Structure 1
Amino acid sequence: MKNTTDFEDLLVDKYGQKGTEKRDQYDADSLAFRLGVMLKEARQQANLTQEQLAERTGTKKSYISRIERGLSDIQISTYHKLIEIGLGKNLNISIG
């Protein structure tokens, strides 16, 4: 591996430039994982089980579990519902 100066260099070395199929898949999987971790942390802080969150939002426990493990490609509207309705928190999205 060449001299790496930052994380982006590592990603390019391993998955290629943004816009390539392999890199796009990595980015999607990474986002799903990060959203899952954030949901799990917020749910645990609210002292809710996956089943309780599912009941509050009209989903299934297995779906909550898949999201938390980064195995489900979730739409923003669904994530919004889980955070705002299910957990009673505000979801803020910024584009920078």
Structure 2
Amino acid sequence: MQVNPNVGSMDAVLDKLYGKVGSPEREEFRKEAYSYCVGQLIYDARKQERMTQAQLAEKVGTDKSYISRIEKGAIEPGVGLFFRIIDALGLKVEIVKPMI
């Protein structure tokens, strides 16, 4: 297998753009990326359930604009709200200890 010299490491790209792992800039990027991923997960599940933001908000006890901000990755829901959203969308969270 030949190695393409034009293909670099994603870690190197992130280091260049956001600093080394553990730096404040890299941590901020990680938080934003996590918020975005959580928002997309919720958005996709809500669409699959054919539910509006207003309907989801009513089920979990918040308002439509808060759901919108979560889905856009602008904010992260607290743990309690996250679990209520997951439940309302018919999803399941499984917490397992990784095998080493």
Seq. identity, %:
33
Match of 2:41 among 38, 41, 45: 38
Larger radius of gyration: 2
Match of 1:47 among 33, 47, 50: 50
Question: 1:17 maps to what in 2?
Answer: 20
Question: 2:3 maps to what in 1?
Answer: none
- What is the aligned residue count? 93
Q: 1:15 to 1:94 in 2, by over 3 A?
A: farther
TM-score using structure 2 length: 0.83
- The RMSD of aligned alpha carbons is 1.8
- 1:9 maps to a residue whose letter is A
Runs ≥4 residues deviating over 4 A: 93-96
Shift, 1:73, TM fit: 2.4
Q: Does 1:59 align with 2:31?
A: no
Give distance in 1, aligned partners of 2:14 and 2:95.
Answer: 24
Query: Is the CA contact (8 Å cut-off) linking 1:4 and 1:10 kept in structure 2?
Result: no
Q: 1:35 to 1:16 in 2, by over 3 A?
A: same
Shift, 1:4, TM fit: 5.8
**Runs (5+) with no aligned partner, structure 2:** 1-5
TM-score using structure 1 length: 0.86
Give distance in 2, aligned partners of 1:7 and 1:92.
Answer: 28
Residues 47-75 of structure 1: CA distance to partner in whole angstroms, max 9, x if unpaired?
Answer: 10000000001011000000000001222
Q: 1:95 to 1:42 in 2, by over 3 A?
A: farther
Give distance in 1, aligned partners of 2:23 and 2:97.
Answer: 22
Give distance in 2, aligned partners of 1:39 and 1:95.
Answer: 24
Match of 2:79 among 76, 80, 83: 76
